[in-house]
Amino acid sequence: MELIIITIIILICLILCLISITLWDMEFAGIVGSALWIVILLLHMIAWISKPIEYNSFKYRRDAFEQTLLNARLNNNPYEIAAIVKDIASWNENLAERKYNNTIPILKYYVDDRIELLEPIK
């Protein structure tokens, strides 16, 4: 389903680009209109292609942070744990924001669905 919507968006951008070219006979407005649709198409494709990379980066940073938290708890260092508690709230807030963005119809195509599998840090 996601691939179909992405393909439709690409086709719409290409059609609008062709309409811009033919409607203004490649005058200045047609060139600007075409360039605008090409830029929108490129930005869309970059955002769509980068979503697995962004998810993997988030997951690896989160795993490293959880390991740091585990080490602090094993060392039973109250100062280190107190400093990390602030970061836990930040990580959980970031996770909640990503999960929320995955429910918004426009943004869900730019957020990897595997984000739903992650649990808040406790």
pLDDT in tens, 42-98: 887 788 788 888 888 889 988 888 888 888 888 887 787 778 888 888 888 988 988
Number of structural domains (the chain) is 2
Task: Give residue 113's pLDDT.
Answer: 81
Residues 31 and 57 grouped into a single domain: no
Q: Give whole-number Cα distances, 16 to 19, 48, 97, 99, in Å.
A: 5, 20, 33, 32
In which band, very low, low, confident or very high, does the pLDDT at 26 lie, cut at 50, 70 and 90? low
Residues 111 and 60 grouped into a single domain: yes
Q: Give whole-number Cα distances, 22 to 3, 14, 15, 76, 79, in Å.
A: 29, 12, 11, 70, 67
Where in the sequence is the domain holding 26, given as residue range(s)?
2-49
